[in-house]
Amino acid sequence: MINSVITSKYCKNGTFLRRIQSFVSRNRKLSDSQSNFISMYWPKFGIDFSQFYINIDDYFHFHFPLILEIGFGVGDSLLRYALRNPSKNFIGIEVYLPGIVSCLKHINFHSLKNVRIIYHDAVEVLNNMICDKTLHEIQIFFPDPWPKRRHRKRRIFTKMFARLILKKLVFNGILHISTDCQSYAEEIVSIVHDISGYSNLSNSNSYISRPKFRPFTKFEKKAIRFNNSVFDLMFKSV
pLDDT value, residue 2: 42
Q: What does the DSSP assignment read for 200-225?
A: E--TTSS-BPPPTTSPP-HHHHHHHH
Dihedral, CA atoms, 141, 144, 147, 149, nearest 10 degrees?
A: -120
Annotated binding site: 69, 94, 121, 144, 148, 180, 217-220
For 215, phi then psi, to 5°, come to -65, 150
Domain ranges for the chain, please list them.
Answer: 2-8+30-237
pLDDT value, residue 9: 42
Active site residue 76: no
With CA atoms as reference, report the closest residue to 202 among 210, 194, 191, 214: 210
pLDDT value, residue 148: 82
pLDDT value, residue 117: 98
Annotated binding site for S-adenosyl-L-methionine: 69, 94, 121, 144
Whether the full predicted model's pTM is greater than 0.75, yes or no, is yes
Q: What is the pLDDT along the chain (238 residues), one digit of tens a residue?
A: 344 444 444 344 443 444 445 444 455 678 898 899 899 999 999 999 999 999 999 999 999 999 999 999 999 999 999 999 999 999 999 999 999 999 999 999 999 999 999 999 999 999 999 999 999 999 999 999 887 877 678 899 999 999 999 999 999 999 999 999 999 999 999 999 999 999 999 999 999 999 999 999 888 999 999 999 999 999 999 9
Task: For domain 2-8+30-237, give the CATH number.
Answer: 3.40.50.150
> Which residue in the list 32, 48, 132, 144 is annotated as catalytic?
144
pLDDT value, residue 8: 42
